[in-house]
Amino acid sequence: MKKYIPLKRKLQFFIFLTLTLFYIPVSIILKNFMYKNYLNELKEKAVSITENNSQNVAQFILKGDIIELYKYITNIKNSDKDIFYILIVDRDYLPLVHTFEKDVSYPIISEIKNSSDGPQIIKIDGNQGIWNVKYPIMGGASW
């Protein structure tokens, strides 16, 4: 008798193929959706942190109490694991205080400099996926 692939195997393969074909696009769409969702959450959180703390930061700057300011921003960073760094620059874009272990990397300063004065969310490094939320510090009050 001629050799043949049993119907049972064909149906099993058909189920496998259907599920796989269904699984691939669905998983891509879901991952994309989840990514956007998580990212928005983080952005909102970061914006909220900058908004809530900009006034206090301004007070420390006006007092010239840089050590207290450093403690203050270190506390903020430690309170949230999603925060990679906190950096405060003056109006000439020179770093005042930051939480980096070493020096501030040039690309970050460059990106901040190139952005407008208002609140901004910028992607700093595409490979590492670092986002920077910039919020202006006004003399004693929020902007």
Partner 1 sequence: MGLLGSLNIGFSEYRIMNKLRNFSKEILIIYLLFLVFLETILYFILPKYLSPLKYLTEKLKDFGDGKLNGEIEIKSNDEIGLLAQTFNEMVVKLKRTNEELKRAQNIILKTTKIKTIENFARGIAHEINNPLAGVLNCIRTLLGNPEVKGQVRGYIELSLKGLLRIENIIKNMTLPSEILKSEPVLFKINEIIEEAITFVQHKMNEKNIDLEKKLDPFIEKTYGYPECIFQAFLNILNNSIEAIDKNGKIEIITKKKEDGIEINFIDNGKGIKKENIDRIFEPFFTTKEDGKGMGLYLTYNYIQIHNGFIDIESEEGKGTKVSIFLPTKNGNK
88 binds partner 1 (CB under 8 A): yes
78 binds partner 1 (CB under 8 A): no
7 binds partner 1 (CB under 8 A): yes
At what angle are helices 7-63 and 66-79 packed, to 10 degrees? 160
110 binds partner 1 (CB under 8 A): no
User: Whats the size of the chain, residue-wise?
Assistant: 143
Could you tell me if 119 and 135 are in contact, meaning their C-beta atoms sit under 8 angstroms apart?
yes
Q: How far is the CB of 75 from partner 1 (least distance, A)?
A: 13
Could you tell me if 131 and 123 are in contact, meaning their C-beta atoms sit under 8 angstroms apart?
yes
Angle at 54 between CA 142 and CA 39, to 5 degrees: 110
CA–CA dist 141, 57 (Å, integer)? 10
CB nearer to partner 1: pick between 67 and 94? 94
Residues that bind partner 1 (CB under 8 A): 7-8, 11-12, 15-16, 19-20, 23, 26-27, 30-31, 34-35, 38-39, 42, 45-46, 49-50, 53-54, 57-58, 61-62, 81-91, 96, 108, 112, 117, 124, 128-141, 143
